[in-house]
Amino acid sequence: MQTSQVLDVIGSLVSHLKTFSAKLPELVPMSVVPGGVKPAPEAVEVYEQAVSRFRQQNSAPAYRRLNEPLIESLEAFESGWMLKAVQALLMTLDQIELMQNEKTVLLSRAEEGRLRDYRNALHKILPGSQPELEGSGRGLC
């Protein structure tokens, strides 16, 4: 499996998360939906197929460490826990950057750009990414 193929899978998963998060209401009290808002079974199936495709094509030992965070992302997505799914994909991106720093994999400039784009897209899904919430999450001053 080539790095570009790995990034294709991650890009597909990021796209699914963006699509699903766009359908969520702005604010949902946890008392109303304590288990999260679950995606449609069809969306879960597509997400699961992308993760399965990665696991089946993954013959390179360098990429095996990505299996766990991708499965965590799938399980979180399936359960409706958007933030956990995003965090697991961010961990996957961190692993790829670590592998690049260790010289386990080589990324072209274009692939590094894709990695940045995916990270930015995931950060936009997280709460606090809206300008009206600027400064949130930093604790009390």
Q: Does residue 48 lie in a domain region?
A: yes
Q: Does residue 34 lie in a domain region?
A: yes
Confidence band (pLDDT; 50, 70, 90) for 30?
very low
Residue 6 has pLDDT above 80, yes or no: yes
pLDDT of residue 66: 92
Q: Report, as an integer, the average pLDDT of 79-96.
A: 92
Q: Does residue 135 lie in a domain region?
A: no
Q: Does residue 132 lie in a domain region?
A: no
86 contact partners, CB below 8 Å, separation of at least 6: 17, 122, 125, 126
Q: Does residue 141 lie in a domain region?
A: no
Total structural domains within the chain: 1
Q: Distance between CA 76 and CA 89 in Å, rounded?
A: 11
Q: Does residue 110 lie in a domain region?
A: yes
Q: Does residue 68 lie in a domain region?
A: yes
Q: What is the pLDDT of residues 57-78, one digit of tens each?
A: 866 788 888 999 999 999 999 9
Cα 7 to chain centroid distance, Å, stands at: 11
Residue 133 has pLDDT above 50, yes or no: no
Q: Report, as an integer, the average pLDDT of 83-92.
A: 93
Q: For residue 106, give its domain range.
A: 3-127
Does pTM surpass 0.85?
A: no
More confident residue, 86 or 138: 86
Q: Does residue 136 lie in a domain region?
A: no
